[in-house]
Structure 1
């Protein structure tokens, strides 16, 4: 890509790290029972730690400046799983190197007398810049949204996940979080920074069924149409997708990535494990974003480059109509 390099951001999602022990009776619910049976009947063969470790090893060799992890680190939201995921995060990088938003499998059912995903709080918290931006903006009790700055890139973490009934994997941002997001996007644009939004659920209508989608996707799209953003990253669908939505200052790319833990063993309908490198450049005041996809081309194969493409060059004041997926 031409132009000066701003930052390389690695995007990883949906690891579904293998379920570990610590199954206390008080943590069992109907939804967890069904999820555990689903894990035993197939998912534990499809999602492997070996696939995750291979991607992480390759990612380290690419030397990204920061890692964005968009949820579903675990499967049943058990305390033992969440604690093990904390250890995984510490091996992956420090909170200064990794930013996380939770997925629906991380917040699977309500937990009683347990911190849940708050174990990862320092990976999901605003830095000094974010606290300055957030001054006077109300955040939820769980600390979302949060804001971090890395060079000229500002990361905005949203939580779309909350406990849902059995057979439902939908998400919701809620009015409080959407109101905060709109103010955040405006303030960061005033600073001249590139705005990257992280969310677990596909944030546009039509990218997932109602049973699996973001219930206030249209309200999220309305916020982007009024305030704009330069990039949205999500997971959840276990597929590699690129969609576009209308922004206040140009079309906004919305990028989904396949499940990082998907080995491909016995599961042909899902894309194999992959992560994306999002490379940001500045060419005379025009932002360029290059997507480089790296992952498995075949079950049990080596991690390699699978895709490379340049997203639209985004100049200040550009206008564009939305392009649907």
Structure 2
């Protein structure tokens, strides 16, 4: 059995001091939003407790689906690199970026350069592109897609391009031929209506067409800070699409408490079994509890 853990939307704090020049951009809106809202609930030792609970679950691999930082300053990007280095073995952890990691022009390039060991494919692409990434771990193929791009103020959209869809489709097809369990990692939810218009993913139809043609066993995303489960049509049946609360969400907010997804994957091609356990902070104390509503055998859900 292969155990895959999933966290997202880490939003590492605290917010660094920003210069006037740094604030003279879209960052000013994010800076105000942080101080008015996010810092009230993304605080304390919440993230530390989530990581502690995840370590106790002893996953074989960890997927992190974006938004490691808040405003993508150089200081934040470097701090996130140190955080990854401290807590996660690059061979046992796969990261894809989110919109906050590409908050302003140039930020995504710096972030991917700093976090490259956790992003890159087992075999680098001939053209040097990072995404889609492809990693084989045991019976599992992890295919990482990037929707991260800099956007205008008050926008948090993502983009799943035609080029990336074609390349990811080829990887899904190859993984299927190799008899692997295929997991697609992406930041924005590739489901219509799952995010407001100003936070949606452009290319949802393209993603759906890719899955319908090539299939997958599981799609993991973040962005909404919600514990969700949707399904998309795949060539061999419905594909579960699973979201997760922010890994730093403390008590008292409108969004669900922080936690992690844990998937226990077993079986063989054509007969995969997947048990999903949604682990969440208990609200009192550092311990994690299993959210019974989230315990589902994905292959028996419809």
2:147–2:186 Cα contact (<8 Å) kept: yes
Q: Distance in 2 between matches of 1:261 and 1:220?
A: 28
**Residue aligning to 2:96:** 101
Q: Is the 8 A contact 2:225 2:244 kept in 1?
A: yes
**More helix by proportion, 1 or 2?**
2
**Is 2:151 aligned against 1:164?**
yes
Q: Give the SS at the match of 2:55.
A: helix
Could you say which residue in structure 2 is the equivalent of 1:150? 137
Query: Are 2:238 and 1:251 aligned?
Result: yes
Moved more, 277-286 or 145-154: 277-286
Query: Deviation above 6 Å: which 4+ runs of structure 1?
Result: none
Deviation at 1:32, TM superposition (A): 0.4
RMSD between aligned residues? 2.1
Offset at residue 175 of structure 1 (A)? 1.3
Equivalent of residue 16 in structure 1, options 11, 27, 30: 11
Q: Give the whole-Å Cα distance in 2 for the aligned partners of 1:276 and 1:99.
A: 15
Are the aligned partners of 1:79 and 1:114 in contact in 2 as well (CA < 8 Å)?
Answer: no
Q: Secondary structure of 2:199's partner? A: coil
Q: 2-side partners of 1:304 and 1:36: how far apart? A: 33
2:195 counterpart of 1:208? yes
Change (3 A) 1:284 1:181: closer
Q: Distance in 1 between matches of 2:83 and 2:154?
A: 28
Name 2:83's counterpart in structure 1: 88
Q: Counterpart of 2:67?
A: 72
Displacement of 1:272 = 0.7
> Partners in 1 of 2:159 and 2:34 — Cα distance?
25
Q: CA deviation at 1:178?
A: 0.9
The aligned residue for residue 183 of structure 2 is: 196
SS in 2 for 1:289: strand
- 2:35 aligned to which of 26, 35, 40: 40
Q: What does 1:1-325 correspond to in 2, within 5 Å?
A: 5=1, 7-21=2-16, 23-111=18-106, 115-128=110-123, 131=124, 140=129, 143-265=130-252, 267=253, 269-282=254-267, 286-298=271-283, 302-307=287-292, 308-312=295-299
- How far does the alpha carbon of each residue in 1:68-120 deviate from its partner, in whole angstroms, 9 at most, with x for none? 00011111111101111111111221110111001111110113797233210
TM-score by length of 1: 0.87
Q: Give the Cα–Cα distance (whole angstroms) in 2 for the partners of residues 36 and 112 of structure 1.
A: 16
Comparing 37-46 with 69-78, which one deviates more in the overlay? 37-46
> How far 1:241 sits from its partner (Å)?
0.6
CA deviation after TM superposition for structure 1 residue 139, in Å? 6.3
- Indicate conservation of the 8 Å contact 1:82/1:117, yes or no: no
Cα distance in structure 1, aligned partners of 2:97 and 2:45: 22
Give the structure-2-normalised TM-score.
0.93
Following superposition, the deviation at residue 162 of structure 1 comes to 0.3
Residue segments in structure 1 that go unaligned for 5+ positions in a row? 315-322
Change (3 A) 1:259 1:234: same
* Cα distance in 2, alignment partners of residues 284 and 229 from structure 1: 11
Native 8 Å contact 1:147 1:156 kept in 2: yes
Pairwise CA distance, 1:216: 0.7
